Amino acid sequence: MSQIEPYLPFLLGGLWITILLTVLGMLLALVVAFTVGLSRMSRRRLLRWPAGAFIEIFRGTSMLVQLFWLFFALPFFGIQFVPFAAAVLALGLNEGAYAAEIVRGAISSLPRGQKEAAVALSMSPYQRMRWVILPQAIPRMIPSFGNVLVDLLKNTSLVSLVTVSDLTFRAQMVRSTTGATTAVFASILVLYFVVSYALGLGRGWLERRINPTRAAAAGGWRRRWATSSGVTR
């Protein structure tokens, strides 16, 4: 480990790039998820079919190949991205395709009576989605979105192949300089795990914060405990 101590600030700089890629990629993935997921549920074929094709293509092909297409192939068609932009697009589009199915599944799992009640109240489609459906569906999406976020973090290691100076890219440079293969990769293994664990903790906190079912369950448990213990207000 002493061999790589002088390079720790250099590796931490790469970790910052990795975290930035994760944040920007997830923001794009959320936009894609709700746009494509809601379009997938539309009654209009012009929205539903392209959304379905997008999901199947990005879920059915390798993210590495998608990254290479964005960075190496698109310039032949007159479209060129800098490495960082190509990395964010590949991460966001790929993970967004998976997240779109999470959005669709969460909305589809809601009781049909919720929509029928909103229709009975003469709500417009926008009002039904904004005030009735999404407030109930989003808490159901949080656990799966957390898994997508962790998966996105791990996939950032692929962007080193298009010369983005992330944690993995810098680790390869340190390994080439020092020859300390075991120490270098053990260090970045720990760094990836720490960030992933922190994301998991954040997901758990957010889930408890906005999930009304868990809050009600926690309140019920406290009331039962107070009753059985003879504790009264």
Please report, for the chain, the start and end positions of each structural domain, with discontinuous segments joined by +: 5-229
Find, among 135, 106, 84, the residue nearest to 37 by Cα: 106
For residue 199, the one-letter residue type is L
State pTM to two decimals: 0.87
Task: Please state which of the ranges 87-96, 108-117, 144-153, 191-200 shows the lowest mean pLDDT.
Answer: 108-117
Query: Residue 144: exposed, middle, or buried by beta-carbon count in 10 A (0-12, 13-18, 19+)?
Result: middle
pLDDT at 125: 84
pLDDT interval class at 94 (50, 70, 90): very high
The average confidence (pLDDT) of the chain is 89
**Distance (Å, rounded) from C-alpha 128 to C-alpha 121?**
10
Q: Residue 208's pLDDT band (boundaries 50, 70, 90)?
A: confident
Does residue 155 register a pLDDT over 50? yes
Q: What is the pLDDT of residue 119?
A: 81
What lies within 8 Å, CB to CB, of 132 at 6+ separation is 114, 115, 117, 118, 123
pLDDT surpassing 90 at residue 5:
no
Q: For residue 3, what pLDDT is reported?
A: 80
Placement of tokens 């079919």 in the chain: 49
Query: For the chain, how are helix, strand and coil distributed in percent, rounded to 5?
Result: 85, 0, 15
User: pLDDT by residue (tens digit) across 178-195?
Assistant: 989 999 999 999 999 999
Residue type at 202 in one-letter notation: G
Q: What is the mean pLDDT of residues 76-92?
A: 96
Q: Taking a C-beta distance cutoff of 8 angstroms, is the pair 58, 66 a contact? A: yes
Domain 5-229 of CATH type 1.10.540.10 = no
Task: Kindly state the DSSP code that residue 166 receives in the 8-state scheme.
Answer: -
pLDDT confidence tier of residue 165, bands split at 50, 70 and 90: very high
Whether 134 contacts 55, CB under 8 Å? no
Residue 1 has pLDDT above 80, yes or no: no
pLDDT of residue 229: 45
pLDDT recorded at residue 118? 84
Top-confidence residue, 19 or 210:
19
Q: What local confidence, expressed as pLDDT, does residue 123 receive?
A: 87
Higher pLDDT, 218 or 160: 160
- Of 128, 101, 103, the C-alpha closest to 114 is 128
224 against 103, higher pLDDT: 103
pLDDT higher than threshold 60 for residue 97:
yes
pLDDT in tens, 99-144: 999 999 999 999 888 888 888 888 888 888 888 899 999 999 999 9
Check residue 116 and give its pLDDT: 84
**Single-letter amino acid code for the residue at 1:** M
Tokens 């970790």 locate to 15
